Chain A
Amino acid sequence: MPDLVGPIQSLELASWLWLIPLPPLLGALVNALWGSGLLAQAFQALRLAFADDDGPKPALTPRVTARAPQVARIAQTSMLLCLAAAAAESAALFQCEPEDRFFLRHLWQLVRVGPLDVGLDLALDPLSAVMALVVTVLATLVGFALVAPGSAAASVHAWRVQAWFGGFVSSVLVVVLADNLGLVLVGWAGVGVAGYGLAGDARGERGFVVQRLAEVALALGVALLFWGLGGEWTSAGEYQSDLDPRLSAVSVVHPGQPRPDADPTLRGGAATHGRGFLTVTALPGALVYMDESRSPMLDDKGAPLVTPFRRHPVEGGAHSFRVAPDDRFRAVGHDPKPGFAFIGGVLPNYSIPRTAFGADREVALALLGPTLKLREIEDQLVVTDARSTHPFKDHLLAKRVGGRIGLVTLACLLVLVGAAAKSAAFPLHGWLVAMAEGPIPLSALVQGAGTVMVGAYLLARLSFLFSLSEAASAALAILGACSALAFALASASHYDLRRILAYGTMSQVGLAFLAFGAGAYPAGVLQLVTHATAKTALLVAAGAALGATRATEKKGAKGFDLREMGGLAAAVPRAAWAYRVACAALTAVPIPLIGGFFAQAAILEGTFTATVLDGALAKGLYAVVLVTSALTSFGMWRSYYLAFTGPSRRGRASDEAPAASARVMTALAGLAALAGLCLGISGRELGSDSEPLLENGLASAFSTVGLRVLDVSVAMRLGLVGLGLAFAYAGWAIARHRYGEGRPDDWAARESSLFVLRLGAGVR
């Protein structure tokens, strides 16, 4: 048997994965070319280019501007298709055995220069499935809410808004489904450009610049990690490669299975009876040759076996293999010929020496060394050798950059800078504040399941890396704590409703960062999911309420000022109701158990019991979460009471939101209330063994994190969570007391003494 053993990711090949990101992209293209009338004009211009110069010159037809309904329908249909595809693929995924929950679809090769191997490869694992579902559901709903009368999506610019919308969603889905870091970078850039296009004016500029820097930081982190996997920099700064990319045979052992050397049938050399299985998922598109054969391996139908494939039966005994990434199979005559290149390969063909196959044992040819594929990086960190040590992980962890800082830590920190800029974490948040002043449906997209989430998502994706570096984890947690606390304070003290919501977003994403840093990855993901739904609901409801009262048109920026609002509930009862439910979902008070309750409980418990971090730091983080939850519930309820209750400062609005928009609001509010409950409920706090749905589903995604927590008693757990709930209730009670129905008219003057610290100048 091979010397290397490990829980290499098993995968299924899914042929329809590309159907998830494609429809929004196609819809966007159709809208940009046809919806805008550009195509018709271009054709006409082409015709005129060859027209007789002396003839009459017909004027071009004016651009069609009345296509808003069709354009919206195209966008909505494409989103529904995308949602259906995501749902179908996710359902199929969760029907698999837990260790097989990984779908891969190799579309085509983009670049392959030496070890730099980037393909258009989409992957679906539990984490990306959850995220893809959240993104598609929320984006579809926002897509229906986009076309409210009076918004840009109902004007002559409909095509532009809808085209950018499609591009944005497609880019987010590319990030979510990307199998390699190169593709993540492409998706990130798409998110940045499309967000800028959606903003449509100078408000997006800052975001664009910051996000380009985020891409650079991520790219540098990835480059450092990539080269670090195959070499090291000497103290003089010279790069020395120490591990060429190579394929090695690894015996696939899932947790719970015995190690092959404990298997008596294999002792004393190769087993000659029974069949083993061969799995090759590296170097997509390559052919595999067995035992010096001149013709490649064939599958049971007689067709060539092209990587990636899994569990191909192989007769017991010892076999050697050669994997030829250069070869492509000719359809007729089974003759290999050169395919897409492997530029300048030191090893144009990868040879694997004789490897024994035991009965029913699976052997994978895994790529070790520099790679950009997330799966392959993770795989080489978990393999163990005969002495049960992790050779590649230990080797990587021993590397230093510049003599002091660990290579993994530095790479993580660079990725963290990128993710922080994307997710508008503490010092890099200004762009989101600027962008929040744009159209509200856009904010729903950016702050809900869009830009802000892709940054945090990448951190969750790279959990296996961050968990290797205590320093990077601590930095992540501290950054999250700073964001959570500072922005919760800002959110609780501003008057501009859009800023309140934007700062709230940053604060809640900061909590997710904090949870990631403490090693509580499932809790962080749950936090992202519940926050995204609740924030989308809040923004759509706020947009509907303010749109209906024509706040934006009448008073400009003042239309969003809480001091100018009040009593909206009477004018727009449905929006008020949706906003209220979403507030309750976000803050988990006054109705516990709904919305973000379980996310918050998991974070509280996860931070307090975290062993990744220093004990005092963990306790400090716990305190931060407590204060943040109090501030959040105070701030959100403050905004609700001030905007929707009390005396009306405006004349009664003429119209409530249209029916479609109302249905969207209802659906979003319902989702916000129930998503967290369904995904996060468990009896753990009461001492039972039941696992929350989401955590259970994500178990395989975070299996390498090695979550070790302090074991605490049931009473302690209840106490930890109960304390958090108490803080949240206190925040709500104070807000209700100060800003409820019977609030004094000079409430603003009274509170200015209370909040001396307002983050971000320019409070109007």
Chain B
Amino acid sequence: MSRVVRLLALLLACAALVLAARPSLAQLGSTPPGPRRFPHTPSTPPPASGGPVHIRVTDADGQRGPVTLVPRSGGYIGELVVWNDGPGLMTVSRVALRGDDDDPRLPSHFTARFSDGGGGSGVIPGRSSKRITITWIPDREPKLHQALGHVVLTSNDEASGEVAMGFVVPQTGAMGFLTSHLLTLLLLLPFLVAVVAFAMRVTDYAGEEKLRGLTLLSTGGMCLLAIVLYQGFDGSVTRGDGNEGFQFVERSVLASSVGVEYYVGVDGANVAFVLLTALVGFAGAIAAHRVTADAGRRLTTFYGLYGLLLTGTMGVFVSLDLVLFTGSWAVMLGALTLLLFAGAAVTSRSAARKAALASALSTALLAFAVGALYLHSDPNYLGDGTRVAHTFALPELMRVAWNAKHLTLFGVSWVKAVWTLLFLAFAIAIPLAPLQRWFVDAVVLAPSPVGAVALAVVSKVGVYGLLRVSFGLLPDGSRWAATTLVAAGVLTIVVGGLLAVLQADVARMVAYAAVGQMGVCLVGLGGMTREGIAGCLVQAFSHGVVVAIAFVLVGALRSEPGTGDHASLRRFFRKRPFHATVLGVALLASTGLPGLPGFWGVAAALVGAFPVQRALVTTAALAGAVSAAMLFRTLHGAFRDDASPGERTEDDTAGEPRVSRELVAVLPLLALSVALGCFPAPLFTLLQGGVSDLNQLVNPPGPDEIARAPAPSGAHPG
């Protein structure tokens, strides 16, 4: 009975949510809104033809935008309608596509003109309309298979000013719906797990095995989608190619009054992270079989929060709207905190309190900075052409010349202040050197699969935030703080390496070592060269893969009886040599030993930052090498296989079968990491466009860098 009541309550709550969201949803939907009136001035003198004019644009069916272009004879075509709602004669003096050659927003070969042959201008009598045709004839082998843009109209309707209409060419691909909504599906799959799990929890439905199966299916589906994404993603696309350099973009308005949109897309800066989240999420789901219901912790809660954690993380990586970004950020950190609160142990509670504080602080700082960015952004258009005074859309914010506004915040330069706020928010989440305690506690005290996801993926959101938000929006601030970035990275490497070797607990050792290695990413970022940025991204990806392997296997170690110290590591090695060997190699790889998967990213990051910060990079390299050697020493005692044969036989014939779901969980990651070690070129290729864009943004070639060859620069005509 009570189950039914709870289910009803849940349904009611959902219904209430939908109703509350109706106004904004409605704007997506069918009712065409009235003409938007920006500061209406009735005193405008009527045009010569007599009577006021009022411009309004809709799509061909009279609905709100965006206009969807449909394939037609080797290209795409779509129509929009320009209405003159006033009695006067309206002159549309200019029909233009937003963006130009210097600032391309669209792929090439787009045109927009009046359907009646009027070209770029036309006259519309009172209370009538004209149609404008948008066409796109893409290249024979186009780089981009979708397009998003705006048609901007200038008319003699002074009151409305320029009006715009958004249009989209939906992503085309071999798999139709799957390709066009790839990122949404990637977000929905883990969210589905969360919804089902909480529904089960509310209704006390006992079907935990089914829930496990659903989680496996859904995260497995994420992996398949990630493969589709990898196949469909073209790494050579840059901002110059249009669509702001993004692919698989989906954009629709959520709340037009404040300018919040559902805006997602991938480019070179986040594609690797999206792939990583899917892969590690799947490995964690397999390893989660080890998690059992115990006192105070229900499996439904665990899986629900696990789903939310993945949703939030994926959301951070794909969001191109700052509200979506911040919301995902909060969901991700909140889910991690709640997972700790759900734990039974007292230590878990105390870790949870720390995590709650850190999450709240990080989210608050981020939200504050986002608010500051929003309030000082320029007027803009949403995806459907609605004009807004401020925007949350990241690509639009990237075009704002913040420095030219000469703002101040707290009495200091606005750019520097906002950059610092963002940096602090991200530094808590990476986490950087003095702040890593809460994160390591969370990683160690959460269930192992969650620890693996946190260590491998959640630690990357901070780096990604620095790239996307700090570098992307505030390149001047980033240049200003380049040395700080490198110094913070070096400090993280040194402190992380030191703390790692001091830990008695193996899980803590792995966590501290892994967190310390994230410092390399910052060193690479601070260099701001192509090599440095590419190295940072590659290091982040390969670090995620090898650290996930290591921590999933640490989970296997902790499931053995024992205290989790080095002695139990030794026993573990004897009982499960394969696990232990893989664990050791993964740890070494995470420190960037040449030839192993972690090396190429570390090498590129350090070489890239070297010309800019010689002393700091030298320190980083030395610290990295020493900490790797120390870690190796620590492991060495445990992995030395000098048990006498008699001892060995006794261990080997122990009755307990060494079942290893962890091994299954890490197998795909293991294959990937071997490939990364031997053949990292495809990963670099995947990132090339994004790296190139970021480098252009933060470190454009100065006049000094025009080649000054020492002598005849090669050959001249003979």
Interface residues of A (CB under 8 A from B): 1-4, 36, 38, 41-42, 45-46, 48-49, 51, 57-60, 62-63, 65, 108-114, 116, 156-157, 160, 182, 185-186, 188-190, 193, 196, 200-202, 205, 208-209, 212-213, 215-216, 219-220, 223-224, 226-227, 231, 233, 237, 239-244, 246-249, 269-270, 318, 326, 338, 340-344, 346, 352-356, 368, 385-386, 389, 391-392, 394-395
In the complex with contacts A38-B581, A41-B578, A189-B595, A248-B714 CB distance below 8 A: yes
Partner of B594 from the list A58, A185, A196 (CB cut-off 8 Å) is A185
* Residue of B with least CB distance to A63: B652
Within 8 A of A (CB), among B609-656: 610-612, 614, 617-618, 621-622, 624-626, 628-629, 632-633, 636, 640-642, 645, 648-649, 652-656
30 A-B interface contacts by CB (under 8 A) = A2-B714, A2-B718, A4-B714, A36-B577, A45-B660, A48-B660, A49-B661, A60-B658, A62-B652, A111-B681, A113-B604, A116-B604, A156-B648, A186-B594, A193-B588, A212-B629, A215-B625, A220-B610, A226-B607, A231-B611, A239-B612, A241-B704, A241-B705, A243-B707, A244-B707, A318-B717, A353-B714, A354-B718, A385-B711, A389-B711
Partner of B715 from the list A63, A227, A353 (CB cut-off 8 Å) is A353
Residues of A within 8 A of B593 (CB): 189, 193
Within 8 A of A (CB), among B658-701: 658-661, 663-664, 679-682, 684-685, 687-688, 691-692, 695-696, 701
A219 to B618, CA, bound (A): 10
Q: Is B33 an interface residue (CB 8 A)?
A: no
In the complex with contacts A38-B578, A212-B629, A237-B614, A202-B641 CB distance below 8 A: no
Q: Name 10 extra pairs, CB < 8 A, besides A4-B715, A190-B594.
A: A45-B578, A48-B659, A57-B655, A116-B607, A182-B603, A189-B594, A201-B642, A243-B710, A354-B718, A385-B712
In the complex with contacts A233-B611, A318-B718, A355-B715, A340-B578 CB distance below 8 A: no
Q: Is the CB of A45 within 8 A of B684?
A: no
Q: Is the CB of B710 within 8 A of A394?
A: yes
A65 to B651, CA, bound (A): 14
* Residue of A with least CB distance to B712: A3
Consensus secondary structure, chain A interface? mixed
A247 to B654, CA, bound (A): 65
In the complex with contacts A58-B657, A193-B593, A239-B611, A108-B679 CB distance below 8 A: yes
Residues of B within 8 A of A368 (CB): 714
Residues of A within 8 A of B629 (CB): 208-209, 212
Residues of B within 8 A of A2 (CB): 714-715, 718
Q: Is the CB of B708 within 8 A of A338?
A: no
A1 to B624, CA, bound (A): 50
* Residue of A with least CB distance to B686: A341
Q: Is the CB of A190 within 8 A of B713?
A: no
**How large, as a class, is the contact surface on chain B?**
35 or more
Q: Is the CB of A220 within 8 A of B531?
A: no
Residues of A within 8 A of B663 (CB): 42, 45-46, 49
* Residue of B with least CB distance to A115: B531
Within 8 A of A (CB), among B525-542: 529-531, 534-535
Name, among B235, B680, B685, the residue most crowded by chain A CB atoms within 10 Å (CB to CB).
Answer: B685
Residues of A within 8 A of B712 (CB): 3-4, 385-386, 391
* Residue of A with least CB distance to B534: A113
**Smallest Cβ distance from B262 to chain A, in angstroms?**
31
Partner of A223 from the list B610, B680, B681 (CB cut-off 8 Å) is B610
* Residue of B with least CB distance to A387: B711
A7 to B248, CA, bound (A): 51
Counting residue pairs across A and B whose Cβ atoms lie within 8 Å, the total is 239
A49 to B289, CA, bound (A): 11
In the complex with contacts A182-B603, A209-B629, A243-B710, A269-B657 CB distance below 8 A: no
**Smallest Cβ distance from A118 to chain B, in angstroms?**
8
Q: Is B599 an interface residue (CB 8 A)?
A: yes
* Residue of A with least CB distance to B711: A391
Q: Is the CB of A343 within 8 A of B622?
A: no
Q: Is B500 an interface residue (CB 8 A)?
A: no
Residues of B within 8 A of A57 (CB): 655-657
Partner of B681 from the list A340, A355, A394 (CB cut-off 8 Å) is A340
Could you give, for residues 584-614 of chain B, a 1 whenever the CB lies within 8 Å of some chain A CB and a 0 otherwise?
0000100001110001100110111011101
A519 to B256, CA, bound (A): 76
**Smallest Cβ distance from B233 to chain A, in angstroms?**
13
Q: Is B20 an interface residue (CB 8 A)?
A: no
In the complex with contacts A45-B578, A111-B680, A246-B714 CB distance below 8 A: yes
Residues of B within 8 A of A231 (CB): 611
Partner of B640 from the list A109, A201, A354, A392 (CB cut-off 8 Å) is A201
In the complex with contacts A45-B578, A60-B652, A344-B695 CB distance below 8 A: yes
Q: Is the CB of B611 within 8 A of A227?
A: yes
Q: Is the CB of B625 within 8 A of A212?
A: yes
Shortest beta-carbon contacts, A-B, top 10: A356-B718, A248-B714, A391-B711, A344-B692, A189-B594, A249-B715, A395-B710, A239-B611, A341-B688, A341-B685
Q: Is the CB of B632 within 8 A of A208?
A: yes
In the complex with contacts A111-B600, A193-B593, A216-B625 CB distance below 8 A: yes
Q: Is the CB of B687 within 8 A of A343?
A: yes
A72 to B622, CA, bound (A): 38
Name, among B640, B664, B681, B715, the residue most crowded by chain A CB atoms within 10 Å (CB to CB).
Answer: B715
**Smallest Cβ distance from A698 to chain B, in angstroms?**
28
Q: Is B709 an interface residue (CB 8 A)?
A: yes
Q: Is B380 an interface residue (CB 8 A)?
A: no
A48 to B578, CA, bound (A): 15
Residues of B within 8 A of A62 (CB): 649, 652-653
A213 to B622, CA, bound (A): 7
Q: Is B27 an interface residue (CB 8 A)?
A: no
A1 to B708, CA, bound (A): 23
A216 to B628, CA, bound (A): 12
**Smallest Cβ distance from B247 to chain A, in angstroms?**
15
Q: Is B568 an interface residue (CB 8 A)?
A: no
A744 to B664, CA, bound (A): 69
A227 to B530, CA, bound (A): 13
A205 to B577, CA, bound (A): 21
A355 to B652, CA, bound (A): 72
A200 to B636, CA, bound (A): 9
Q: Is B716 an interface residue (CB 8 A)?
A: yes
Residues of A within 8 A of B660 (CB): 45-46, 48-49
Q: Is the CB of A340 within 8 A of B685?
A: yes
Q: Is the CB of B621 within 8 A of A220?
A: yes
* Residue of A with least CB distance to B527: A239
In the complex with contacts A3-B715, A189-B594, A269-B718, A223-B707 CB distance below 8 A: no
**Smallest Cβ distance from A491 to chain B, in angstroms?**
28
Residues of B within 8 A of A188 (CB): 594
Q: Is the CB of A233 within 8 A of B604?
A: no
Q: Is the CB of A110 within 8 A of B681?
A: yes
A433 to B221, CA, bound (A): 56
A318 to B681, CA, bound (A): 36
Q: Is B236 an interface residue (CB 8 A)?
A: yes
A678 to B617, CA, bound (A): 48
* Residue of B with least CB distance to A395: B710
Residues of A within 8 A of B535 (CB): 113
Q: Is the CB of A248 within 8 A of B534?
A: no
A49 to B684, CA, bound (A): 36
A63 to B529, CA, bound (A): 50
A188 to B599, CA, bound (A): 13
Residues of A within 8 A of B581 (CB): 38
**Smallest Cβ distance from B615 to chain A, in angstroms?**
8
Residues of B within 8 A of A63 (CB): 577, 648, 652
**Smallest Cβ distance from A89 to chain B, in angstroms?**
23
In the complex with contacts A38-B578, A185-B594, A318-B718, A240-B705 CB distance below 8 A: yes
Residues of B within 8 A of A38 (CB): 577-578, 581
* Residue of B with least CB distance to A390: B711
* Residue of A with least CB distance to B642: A201
Q: Is the CB of A391 within 8 A of B710?
A: yes
**Smallest Cβ distance from A212 to chain B, in angstroms?**
4
